[in-house]
């Protein structure tokens, strides 16, 4: 998470039972290399202590005592100007109302007024308070003013009631934080289409042909592109992975579905990164009914599935905005020769070649060892790295080509 590493984040915590999750949020941010300064309201201190946060972040956590304590000169201004991002999680209905009205009666709200960077709010409130017209109005006032919202989610609340008002889980809030920190990045204003996962080609109503792609590399690419400020459409085969916050997700099953969605999405896109493992073959006659054992061993005839990248190459003249197309080559032998042939045949800007015979690269593992081959003949070998890092490396090169 390069985007979080080294970021300075202010975390405001208010008086909600969800305050305990703020400790987890502070912990995750700290583990990913952020410097986290926490401000607690007096309500928050009823649920959790400043010591909890200090122990997690290794930095002083502030409360209202510090506002009046006189240790730091104009503390709120210092805090408000020290960070590009103020995350208020959980944010109660009361603090939301104070923010909407510009009230400044505690260290958290006074810092929010002094804040020059972005404010991201993760509301937490029970029993229909979020739907109350007063709260609705406060939310829209804040949104008009540019305050960003993460949630709340629907679900069971502490009261036992079910409704909208649960604070998002820390991992989702981190997704929103990444989205906010990424704004203005190298791909700001760019639209990327990224594909992921392995095709499902039906045999009958219950069976399909698929492959071992986990979708991890494609999802990591989508996250890296979002971190760089891009608008991302993730066209994915079913994976079971949680999509990155902010991606427009379109789920497809067959190679034909993938082709249709990619062609449509590329009309508006600046770049396409095809990380999906698309089927080369599909079943000619898909059985309408379940194939039965009593009918004997079925003879299944395979025919060619559409080649998405080759079709994009043929349609390139019509896809006016599309400037960069990147493919992957999963090979078990003759890596460079095979990848170079695909680079040329599919008219790619570059291809990421992946040796799937290695146990630490390729399908269903968390690492990849990629060689990038470019259309101009240049070659670049990346060391063994996590799929997240590999994604960042590829997205950085896409951004360079789009410049």
| 353 touching ligand CTP, by CB under 6 A | no
| 307 touching ligand CTP, by CB under 6 A | yes
Q: Check 94, 211, 257, 338 and give the catalytic one.
A: 211
Q: CA-CA distances (angstroms) from residue 363 to 67, 214, 216, 354, 360?
A: 53, 6, 9, 10, 9
| 308 touching ligand CTP, by CB under 6 A | yes
Q: Let me know if 211 is a catalytic residue.
A: yes
Of 85, 203, 278, 370, the one binding ligand CTP (CB under 6 A) is: 278
Residue pair 400/323 in contact by the 8 Å Cβ criterion: no
Binding segment (CB under 6 A) for ligand CTP, from list 30-38, 64-72, 108-116, 322-330 = 322-330
* CA-closest candidate to residue 287, choices 273, 275, 276, 301: 301
Binding segment (CB under 6 A) for ligand CTP, from list 22-30, 162-170, 307-315, 371-379 = 307-315
Of 48, 220, 226, 274, the one binding ligand CTP (CB under 6 A) is: 274
| 251 touching ligand CTP, by CB under 6 A | no
**Distant-in-sequence, close-in-space partners of 215: CB < 8 Å, separation ≥ 6:** 196, 197, 198, 236, 237, 239, 241
**Distant-in-sequence, close-in-space partners of 31: CB < 8 Å, separation ≥ 6:** none
Of 197, 244, 327, 362, the one binding ligand CTP (CB under 6 A) is: 327
- For tokens 């960069």, the residue is 324
Binding segment (CB under 6 A) for ligand CTP, from list 16-24, 54-62, 215-223, 300-308 = 300-308
**Closest CB 258 distance from ligand CTP, rounded Å:** 7
Residue pair 79/62 in contact by the 8 Å Cβ criterion: yes
| 309 touching ligand CTP, by CB under 6 A | yes
| 10 touching ligand CTP, by CB under 6 A | no
| 276 touching ligand CTP, by CB under 6 A | yes
Of 227, 328, 370, 388, the one binding ligand CTP (CB under 6 A) is: 328
**Closest CB 281 distance from ligand CTP, rounded Å:** 9
Alpha-carbon torsion 344, 348, 352, 356, what sign? negative
Could you give the CA distance from residue 247 to residue 223 in angstroms, rounded to a whole number? 8
Minimum CB distance to ligand CTP smaller for 59 or for 347 = 347
| 330 touching ligand CTP, by CB under 6 A | yes
Could you give the CA distance from residue 11 to residue 57 in angstroms, rounded to a whole number? 11
Residue 384: how many other CB atoms lie within 10 Å? 13
What are the residue ranges of helices labelled H in 115-233?
A: 133-144, 170-182, 216-227
Binding segment (CB under 6 A) for ligand CTP, from list 10-18, 136-144, 325-333, 380-388 = 325-333
How far is it between the farthest Cα atoms of the chain? 85
**Closest CB 384 distance from ligand CTP, rounded Å:** 20
| 305 touching ligand CTP, by CB under 6 A | yes
Residue pair 113/141 in contact by the 8 Å Cβ criterion: no
Could you give the CA distance from residue 101 to residue 110 in angstroms, rounded to a whole number? 12
Alpha-carbon torsion 310, 311, 315, 316, what sign? negative
Q: Which two tokens stand for residue 122?
A: 């993760």
Binding segment (CB under 6 A) for ligand CTP, from list 72-80, 89-97, 186-194, 306-314 = 306-314
Minimum CB distance to ligand CTP smaller for 190 or for 342 = 342
Residues interacting with ligand CTP, by CB under 6 A? 255, 274, 276, 278, 280, 305, 307-309, 327-330, 342
Catalytic residues, which ones? 211
């Amino acid at each position: 998470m390069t985007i979080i590493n080294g970021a300075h984040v202010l975390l405001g915590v208010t008086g909600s039972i969800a305050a305990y999750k703020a400790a987890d949020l502070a912990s995750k941010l700290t583990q990913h290399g952020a410097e986290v300064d926490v401000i607690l309201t007096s309500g928050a201190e009823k649920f959790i202590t400043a010591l909890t946060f200090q122990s997690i972040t290794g930095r002083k956590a502030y409360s209202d005592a510090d506002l009046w304590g006189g240790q730091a000169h104009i503390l709120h201004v210092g805090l408000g100007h020290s960070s590009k991002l103020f995350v208020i999680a959980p944010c109660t209905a009361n603090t939301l109302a104070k923010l909407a009205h510009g009230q400044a009666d505690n260290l958290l709200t006074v810092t929010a007024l002094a804040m020059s960077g972005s404010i991201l709010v993760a509301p937490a409130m029970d029993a229909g308070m979020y739907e109350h017209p007063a709260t609705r109005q406060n939310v829209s006032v804040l949104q008009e003013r540019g305050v960003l919202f993460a949630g709340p989610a629907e679900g069971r609340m502490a009261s036992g009631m079910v409704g909208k008002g649960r604070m998002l889980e820390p991992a989702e809030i981190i997704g929103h934080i990444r989205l906010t920190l990424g704004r203005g990045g190298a791909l700001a204003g760019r639209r990327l289409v990224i594909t992921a996962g392995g095709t499902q080609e039906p045999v009958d109503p219950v069976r399909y042909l698929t492959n071992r792609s986990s979708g991890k590399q494609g999802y990591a690419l989508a996250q890296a592109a979002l971190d760089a400020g891009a608008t991302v459409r993730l066209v994915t085969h079913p994976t079971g992975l949680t999509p990155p916050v902010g991606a427009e997700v379109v789920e497809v099953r067959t190679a034909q579905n993938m082709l249709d969605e990619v062609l449509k999405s590329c009309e508006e896109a600046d770049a396409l990164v095809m990380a999906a493992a698309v089927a080369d073959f599909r079943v000619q006659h898909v059985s309408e009914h379940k194939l039965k054992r009593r009918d004997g061993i079925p003879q299944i005839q395979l025919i060619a599935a559409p080649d998405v990248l080759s079709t994009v190459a043929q349609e390139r003249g019509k896809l006016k905005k599309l400037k960069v197309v990147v493919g992957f080559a999963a090979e078990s032998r003759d890596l460079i020769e095979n990848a170079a042939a695909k680079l040329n045949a599919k008219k790619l800007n570059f291809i990421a070649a992946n040796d799937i015979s290695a146990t630490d690269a390729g399908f269903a593992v968390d690492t990849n060892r990629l060689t990038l081959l470019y259309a101009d003949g240049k070659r670049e070998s990346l060391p063994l790295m996590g799929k997240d890092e590999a994604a960042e490396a590829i997205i950085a090169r896409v951004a360079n080509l789009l410049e």
